[in-house]
């Protein structure tokens, strides 16, 4: 591959893109002074200002500063250049809980309970600080090197000032399969009750290995959610079934509360509350990020360093399930995800050309930029036109990793797009024998 510019911001060297949204990118980075690996969320100031998103971005930064909990991703610092805002976050190496389920299937009840306890601890703490996540799903639950659960992605969180006079939130958001029925109704909802519903969906998935509510037709999916139309597998214990059915109650008024979950006998088995220090958090510096001057200590300089566009071993591992590279070669389970990866022995130019050919009959235009391919939907979906970024990374002289990630639009629509395009990718994807896989 040709060389590409690697950027240094302050004391951080930026690496590959981990995620991408309408107003921000998240990149892997390394602190050159300490060697510590972090994730940096990068926001374009001009886009934020032009789209009048200052209030929302301030809320997101404030949210992350307010939360200090062992099961929540930590925000270390906020920096700004003349054109961008940089939010430095904790980077965890255990992958997503999604990858763990996709790789090994459903969890045994005791292990599922352990993760559910950590999830409830984190969400309950957020609620005690007046913060509601509103997009809880497996992809937003990460694992550190010790297997400790970490809740991430507060881009859709809500602070108390977003609650209206009726005491409810009114913004419809979240991922369809995880969202509570009252959120879909768009008549206002209790953020804590809606978050708890999503926690119940997550518990069902990690114990069963599949979604409780699933349908290729969005309206049919919503009908199932409105009626709480699901069946627990036979291997669920009676106590677990009762708990899940009380959490996935379509009526928020009779739905179990967070306090009741914590007092539930099934939940309390082997329960160990987290120990951590609390501290008063100041938000005084948040406004300063949007108004830096040459004298500001937060102002950083961007420096470009030329280096080959290759993925090193640590970055490769960071895309997989902890240290298990086997998940790169396995078909993932039927859960909704915002990105997907596969390996190929074809050259990068040939890979991108074949992907472009496969995408066009589905109503998508393509634009190639070096070793990236931007795929843009021509029709507007639930959250506007679907936009996908495809990027090729060299992991060995004759092996490339291909990543397709949703940049804009609806996650369910991205999932359907990839499923429809998959038949046209069969000659691209490398499927090693078991022996070859073990040698990687």
3-state secondary structure of 393: strand
Helix (H, G, I), strand (E, B) or coil at 199: helix
On the CB side of 229, CA atoms within 13 Å amount to 10
Among candidates 178, 103, 170, which has minimal Cα distance to 330? 103
Residue 212 φ/ψ, nearest 5 degrees: -70, -35
What are the C-alpha distances in Å from 355 to residues 147, 216, 389, 422?
A: 36, 23, 11, 10
Q: What is the pLDDT of residues 96-148, one digit of tens each?
A: 888 888 878 899 999 999 999 999 999 998 888 777 887 888 888 999 888 89
Model pTM score: 0.68
Q: How far is the C-alpha of 385 from the C-alpha of 424, rounded, in Å?
A: 22
Q: Are 83 and 45 in contact (CB under 8 A)?
A: yes
* Euclidean distance between CA atoms 373 and 395, whole angstroms: 18
Structure tokens belonging to residue 142: 């990460």
Residue given tokens 């062992």 in the structure block: 70
pLDDT digits (tens, 9 = 90+) for 53-76: 777 777 767 777 777 889 998 888
SS (H, E, C) 135-164: CCCHHHEEECCCCCEEECCCCCCECHHHCC
- Using CA atoms, how far apart are residues 336 and 201, in angstroms rounded to an integer? 13
CA distance 341 to 367: 20
Catalytic residue among 124, 135, 190, 415: 135
Torsions phi, psi for 154 (to 5 deg):
-100, 25
Q: How far apart are CA 36 and CA 53, in angstroms?
A: 31
- Look up residue 380 and give its two tokens: 């507007």
Give the CA distances from residue 129 to residues 126, 188, 198, in Å, rounded to whole numbers and listed in that order. Answer: 5, 20, 19
DSSP H/E element including 121: helix 109-128
Return d(Cα 135, Cα 122) in angstroms, integer.
14
**Residue 410 appears among annotated catalytic residues:** no
Determine the pLDDT at residue 10. 84
Q: In this structure, are residues 390 and 404 in contact, taking their beta carbons and an 8 Å threshold?
A: yes
Pick 97-268's CATH classification: 1.10.510.10, 1.10.10.10, 3.40.1160.10, 3.40.50.300. Answer: 1.10.510.10
Would you list which residues are annotated within the binding site?
Answer: 41
User: How far apart are the C-alpha atoms of 319 and 397, rounded to whole Å?
Assistant: 19
Q: Rounded to whole angstroms, how far apart are CA atoms 293 and 295?
A: 5
Residue 146 is encoded by which pair of tokens?
């010790």
Q: Which of 356, 330, 357, 333 is nearest to 343 (CA)?
A: 330
- CATH code for residues 338-432: 3.30.310.80
CA angle 313, 316, 322 (to 5 degrees): 100
In the block, tokens 């029709």 appear at: 379
Mean pLDDT of the chain, nearest integer: 78
Torsion, Cα of 383, 370, 354, 403 (10° steps): -50
Q: Where are the domains of the chain?
A: 3-91, 97-268, 338-432
Q: Is 419 helix (H, G, I), strand (E, B) or coil?
A: helix
Rounded alpha-carbon distances, angstroms, from residue 365 to 14, 21, 280: 29, 19, 50
For every one of its 440 residues, what pLDDT tens digit does the chain have, with 9 covering 90 and above? 344 556 888 889 988 888 776 667 888 999 988 989 998 888 888 777 776 777 777 776 777 777 788 999 888 888 888 888 888 888 888 888 888 888 788 999 999 999 999 999 999 988 887 778 878 888 889 998 888 999 987 543 433 333 334 443 334 444 788 888 988 877 777 888 999 999 999 999 999 999 999 888 888 988 999 999 999 999 999 999 999 999 999 999 999 999 999 999 999 999 988 877 666 666 666 666 665 554 555 576 676 654 434 555 445 444 544 333 333 334 444 555 667 888 888 888 889 999 999 999 999 999 988 778 999 988 877 777 889 989 888 777 788 888 888 888 887 788 888 888 888 888 888 876 554 443 33
CATH topology assigned to domain 3-91? Phosphorylase Kinase; domain 1 (3.30.200)
Provide the annotated binding site for ATP. 41
Tokens matching residue 197: 């519903």
């Amino acid at each position: 591959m040709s060389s590409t510019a690697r950027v240094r911001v302050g004391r951080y060297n930026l690496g590959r893109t981990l995620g991408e949204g309408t107003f921000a990118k998240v990149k892997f980075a390394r602190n050159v002074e300490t060697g510590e690996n972090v994730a940096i969320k990068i926001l374009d100031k001009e886009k934020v200002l032009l789209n009048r998103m200052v209030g929302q971005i301030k809320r997101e930064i404030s949210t992350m500063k307010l939360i200090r909990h062992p099961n929540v991703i930590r925000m270390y610092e906020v920096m700004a250049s003349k054109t961008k805002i940089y939010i430095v976050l904790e980077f965890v190496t255990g992958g997503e809980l999604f990858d763990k389920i996709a790789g090994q299937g459903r969890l045994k009840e005791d292990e599922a309970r352990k993760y559910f306890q950590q999830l409830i601890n984190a969400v309950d703490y957020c609620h005690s600080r007046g913060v509601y996540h509103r997009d809880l799903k497996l992809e937003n639950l990460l694992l550190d090197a010790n297997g400790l659960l970490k809740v991430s992605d507060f881009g859709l969180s809500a602070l108390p000032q977003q609650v209206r006079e009726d005491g409810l939130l009114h913004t419809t958001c979240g991922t369809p399969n995880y969202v509570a029925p009252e959120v879909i109704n768009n008549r206002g909802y209790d953020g804590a009750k809606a978050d708890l519903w999503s926690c119940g969906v997550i518990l069902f998935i990690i114990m069963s290995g599949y979604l409780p509510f699933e349908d290729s037709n969005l309206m049919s999916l919503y009908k199932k959610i409105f009626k709480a139309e699901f069946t627990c597998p036979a291997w669920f214990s009676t106590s677990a079934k009762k708990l899940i059915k009380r959490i996935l109650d379509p009526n928020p008024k009779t739905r179990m509360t967070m306090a009741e979950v914590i007092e539930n006998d099934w939940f309390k088995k082997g329960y160990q509350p987290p120990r951590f220090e609390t501290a008063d958090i100041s938000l005084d510096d948040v406004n300063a990020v949007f108004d830096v001057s040459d004298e500001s200590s937060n102002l950083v300089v961007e420096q470009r360093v030329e280096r080959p566009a290759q993925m090193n071993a640590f970055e490769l591992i960071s895309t997989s399930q902890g240290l298990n590279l086997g998940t790169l070669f396995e078909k993932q389970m039927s859960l909704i995800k915002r990105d997907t990866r596969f390996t190929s022995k074809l050259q990068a130019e040939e890979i991108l050309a074949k992907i472009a050919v496969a995408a066009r009959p589905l109503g998508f235009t393509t634009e190639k930029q070096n070793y990236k391919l931007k795929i843009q939907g021509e029709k507007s979906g639930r959250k506007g036109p679907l936009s996908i970024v495809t990027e090729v990374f060299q992991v060995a002289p004759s092996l490339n990793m291909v990543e397709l990630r949703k940049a804009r639009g609806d996650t369910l629509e991205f999932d359907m797009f990839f499923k429809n395009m998959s038949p046209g990718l069969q000659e691209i994807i490398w499927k090693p024998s078991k022996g070859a896989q073990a040698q990687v």
